[in-house]
Structure 1
Amino acid sequence: MIPVDEVGSLDTLLFAVAVLGVLILVGVLLRLAASWLRRLVLPAALIGGLVGLALGPHGAGLFGEPLISTWAGMPGVLATVVFAPMLMGVKLPRLRETYDLVAPQLLFGWLGASLMIGVPLIVAAALLAPLWDVNQMFGSLVEVGWPGGHGTAGAMAEVYDGESWSAGASLAQTSATVGLAFGICMGMVLINWGIRKGHVQAHASGSASTRAVDQPDVVPSDGRESLGAVTLKRDLVDTFGFHAALVGVAIIIGWVLQYFIEMVIPGMPLFPLAMIGGGIVQQIISRTPLADTVEPGVFRTIQGVALDFLVVSAVASIDLPVVADNAAPLAVLMAVAAGLALFLFFWVGPRIFQRDWFEQSIINFGTVTGVASVGLMLLRTADPKLATVAGRAYALRAPFFSPFVGGGLITAVIPLLAVEYGALAVGLAFFAGFPVLLVLAKVLGLWRRPVG
């Protein structure tokens, strides 16, 4: 339903957002002051969220339950803002022209999705449920938290709450935090291993972790990038405001789509539908005289601001007692996810990527464990000049992959499918896609002897 009721106290909301801003600033200052935080490449929003968690009712008690409750309701709203511009300001590549680059990346992505979705659901149903009586949706925490990240985890709180599993929101945020930490730390280990073994094309003297920490957090004035060009006269409308208005239209379209889809699929979250709404807005505006006024950099800025506040609010509002009560089954699930990510890197990557296999595998490893930003960070560490095809191939794959998994449409419906048909049946269905995709890769000539 489209919300038309009067909102609560705006002063309360303003105070909650202001405190989140303070936490982000604290995260910035801590990372600038602590070299080990910079070495781990932990974002300021995550650091600030952990500080907020430590100061919350389950820690020092400085922040009370009302403030935490306000924060807990923000991730789902902010996630919609993050996802709405995802397909705006971009053009779909022509597949025939980029087949050699896109096809291996697509197959790797779907092979990874079939495992990261299917195996955790099977493990949760066959092992964790008999031992700890976990919820049918427990196995979805890997897809939601690891490839999906904190943004998707925050958005999926709406789905978990709708299915009477309120613990899912905190567990999904914990899963996302574990995946992010594992992706960054293990990714740096893999890069240093690749350098020693000669797999990294652009390796230089010194370890990868040293090169990463040597990059200053404060960007020098001569290396700063623009947040987006001014495309409309300021006496007409501010460019940022114009793009925010387009995001608003995309969200409205998403609400309309949600209204009709919920007649068939109850509990469908808003964020993937807002992304579709953004694609509709892009297709319409690209055929009008306003086509040249759309600036992708401004959309990315809007997404970045929303994501920072999403992460800090989501992490700071994690329900620690819920996490503690589910620590054992969650630890098993996280170990399974870690093993799957390493299996994809070492076994699938060298066989499906015949060109720059390490760089193409490391960007996917980062994405599988901790969203695209971690994958790009690892790629820049292994390939600082982006001299390999990994970055371009990964970017060309995105329009054909990102709208569906790792926070897309399929991710959104997995918990609903698990409730409707059972986690074991859904897990087996996704896992069955793995051998089918392997056969397809061989038929297409994309599965060969491992390189390196």
Structure 2
Amino acid sequence: MFPTEKIASGTLNALLFYCSVMGILLYIATLLRIKIKLFKNLFIPASLIAGTLGLILGQYGIGVLPPEMTQSWGAMPGRLITIVFAPMLIGLTIPNPKKVGNLIGPQLIFGYVGDFIQIGIPFIITALILKPLWNVNDMIGSIVEIGWCGGHGTAGGMIDVFKQLNWEDGGPLGLTSATVGLFIGIIVGMIIINYGVRKGYTSVLKSEDSINSSVSYDIIPQSEQQAAAVTTINKDVVESFAFHGSLISIAIFIGWILQKQIASALNIGMPLFPMAMIGGLIVQLAIAKTKIADAVDVRTLQRIQGLALEFLIIGAIASIKVPVVVAYAVPLLILMISTAIITVLYFFWAGPRIFKNEWFEHSIVNFGALTGVTAVGLMLLRTVDPEMKTEASRAFALRAPFFSPFAGGGLITSILPVLAVKYGALKTGIMFLGIAVVLLIAARVMGFWGKPNLEQSSVAHSRK
């Protein structure tokens, strides 16, 4: 029996104990990730392994972990995602679109069109196939974009939204979608990379043998270790991490006020995490012209985000309600497979037409982000461009302020279930596909669409 009898459920002691068990699972998962070659070759993150261990040990597995523990873990993603989103716009310098338009324009077109296809197609499939045959809820069409491009964090944050809209099954299905998307992003992404190298589509890697050599160390040697954050404020005043935590707290508090005001004015359920992101923008605007701005270290904020995200993923996966997933197995499988096929076809069709140079590198980072969030996209990019010789990483980073607040877990993602309830799956799907078509027409007008050039010469040669 797991030693929880003397810890009253729902107390702070219980929360501390539950979090300590999550930490133990993460430590074990880290050792497994380092020691087991399969996990390394497939780039499976330790948090995903830890969450799977928690699921196996939980009430739907061998039952070692008590239900109240995994249920508490299941409530954490909706709160931790707010910590992830709140600092997203703090300390951020918005690039001038006029100066970098030619660089970020194709990235935005590819990203938004891919995201809207990922919304539109599942909704249309829901309306024309899934609902007539299995009488599913219209909102099921939203779980692909929520889970894939949004990731476990967004899927966890949307649990309360689905509950407010009287469809509690949406929570576990969204988390399952995120897990599937993560595997598709990694595994299918690596298959695409191997294929692209063989066909000569890549600009840097020219042989499959060099793919494994581009993978960095699991444990970075001391001689190569770099500071992940810097101290920006005198410790006699306040600990730097605590100061950055206070900024995040202010952003969340502003977001909470915005959430309540919008819910009262429009009578709709709005999740807290996108509002906290807007709260972060308000914080940034307030401090931008003050000395406090010099005390903001974006890397410190990223470390706090990363900590929250690791535990978020563990809690999200470990608390998946397996019976719900089993009940929706066939509709879920149809959505996952069809969207995966369409996303791969979109990669090869749009990539060489939208990106004039280094199309494969620009497209693969977006493919990873569309299926398994930004971290997977950057991992795939580092695999084909380990020294970041192409412009793909810079372009992808510059487009973030114009993409992340809206799609792939942003404002658009947060209202998808509401749109499905109000307008139905078919109208919602057609609307987003229509927007995608408009964007492609705009790309052609602006010169971001041309004749495909699949085979790439070396980076050095292509820039002469």
TM-score normalised per structure 1: 0.97
Q: Does 1:356 pair with 2:322? A: no
Aligned to 1:255: 256
CA distance 1:225–1:337, change in 2 (3 Å): farther
Q: Shift of residue 306 of structure 1?
A: 0.1
Q: Does 1:224 pair with 2:261? A: no
Aligned to 1:398: 400
Identify the match of residue 70 of structure 2 among 61, 68, 71: 68
Structure 2 SS opposite 1:303: helix
Structure 1 SS opposite 2:293: helix
Q: Shift of residue 164 of structure 1?
A: 1.4
What CA distance in whole angstroms lies between the structure 2 residues aligned with 1:268 and 1:277? 14
Aligned to 1:315: 317
Q: Shift of residue 215 of structure 1?
A: 2.7
1:185-200 equivalences under 5 Å are 185-200=187-202
Q: Shift of residue 205 of structure 1?
A: 4.4
Structure 2 SS opposite 1:432: helix
1:3-42 equivalences under 5 Å are 8-42=10-44
Q: Shift of residue 20 of structure 1?
A: 0.8
- 2:78·2:158 contact (CA, 8 Å) conserved in 1? yes
1:288-437 equivalences under 5 Å are 288-437=290-439
Q: Shift of residue 340 of structure 1?
A: 2.0
Q: Shift of residue 420 of structure 1?
A: 1.2
Residue by residue, what CA displacement relative to the aligned partner does 1:346-388 show, whole Å, maximum 9, x if unpaired?
0011100001100000000000100000000000000001000
Q: Shift of residue 222 of structure 1?
A: 2.0
1:153-164 equivalences under 5 Å are 153-164=155-166
What CA distance in whole angstroms lies between the structure 2 residues aligned with 1:195 and 1:209? 9
Q: Shift of residue 313 of structure 1?
A: 0.5
**What amino acid is the match of 2:225?**
R
Structure 1 SS opposite 2:218: coil
What CA distance in whole angstroms lies between the structure 2 residues aligned with 1:23 and 1:266? 38
What CA distance in whole angstroms lies between the structure 1 residues aligned with 2:346 and 2:369? 12
Q: Does 1:440 pair with 2:406? A: no
Residue by residue, what CA displacement relative to the aligned partner does 1:69-119 show, whole Å, maximum 9, x if unpaired?
111110000000011011112100000000110111111111112201111
Identify the match of residue 48 of structure 2 among 46, 54, 60: 46
CA distance 1:207–1:156, change in 2 (3 Å): farther
Q: Shift of residue 209 of structure 1?
A: 4.8
- 1:188·1:209 contact (CA, 8 Å) conserved in 2? no
Q: Does 1:279 pair with 2:272? A: no
What CA distance in whole angstroms lies between the structure 1 residues aligned with 2:400 and 2:443? 19
**What amino acid is the match of 1:293?**
A
Aligned to 2:142: 140
Aligned to 1:3: none
**What amino acid is the match of 2:342?**
L
Q: Shift of residue 64 of structure 1?
A: 1.4
**What amino acid is the match of 1:374?**
V
**What amino acid is the match of 2:431?**
A
Q: Shift of residue 206 of structure 1?
A: 4.1
Residue by residue, what CA displacement relative to the aligned partner does 1:274-326 show, whole Å, maximum 9, x if unpaired?
01111111111111111110000100000000000000001000001110111
- 1:208·1:381 contact (CA, 8 Å) conserved in 2? no
1:76-225 equivalences under 5 Å are 76-207=78-209, 209-212=211-214, 215-225=216-226
What CA distance in whole angstroms lies between the structure 2 residues aligned with 1:435 and 1:290? 44
TM-score normalised per structure 2: 0.94
Residue by residue, what CA displacement relative to the aligned partner does 1:113-157 show, whole Å, maximum 9, x if unpaired?
220111111101111011111111000011100000111111010
Q: Shift of residue 211 of structure 1?
A: 2.6
What CA distance in whole angstroms lies between the structure 2 residues aligned with 1:206 and 1:427? 39
- Calculate percent identity across the aligned residue pairs: 48
What CA distance in whole angstroms lies between the structure 2 residues aligned with 1:404 and 1:223? 36
- 2:197·2:208 contact (CA, 8 Å) conserved in 1? no
What CA distance in whole angstroms lies between the structure 1 residues aligned with 2:178 and 2:267? 26
Q: Shift of residue 210 of structure 1?
A: 2.2
What CA distance in whole angstroms lies between the structure 1 residues aligned with 2:31 and 2:310? 15
Q: Shift of residue 240 of structure 1?
A: 0.3
- 2:211·2:384 contact (CA, 8 Å) conserved in 1? no
Residue by residue, what CA displacement relative to the aligned partner does 1:386-434 show, whole Å, maximum 9, x if unpaired?
0001001111111011100100000000001101111111111111112
What CA distance in whole angstroms lies between the structure 2 residues aligned with 1:208 and 1:156? 40
CA distance 1:100–1:265, change in 2 (3 Å): farther
Cα RMSD of the aligned pairs, angstroms, is 1.2
**What amino acid is the match of 1:180?**
L
- 1:192·1:208 contact (CA, 8 Å) conserved in 2? no
Structure 2: which 5+ residue stretches go unaligned? 1-8, 455-464
Structure 2 SS opposite 1:137: helix
**What amino acid is the match of 1:92?**
I
Structure 2 SS opposite 1:69: helix
**What amino acid is the match of 1:258?**
Q
Aligned to 2:459: none
Q: Shift of residue 451 of structure 1?
A: 1.1
Q: Shift of residue 225 of structure 1?
A: 2.4
User: Which stretches of structure 1, 4 residues or more, deviate above 3 A after TM superposition?
Assistant: 204-209
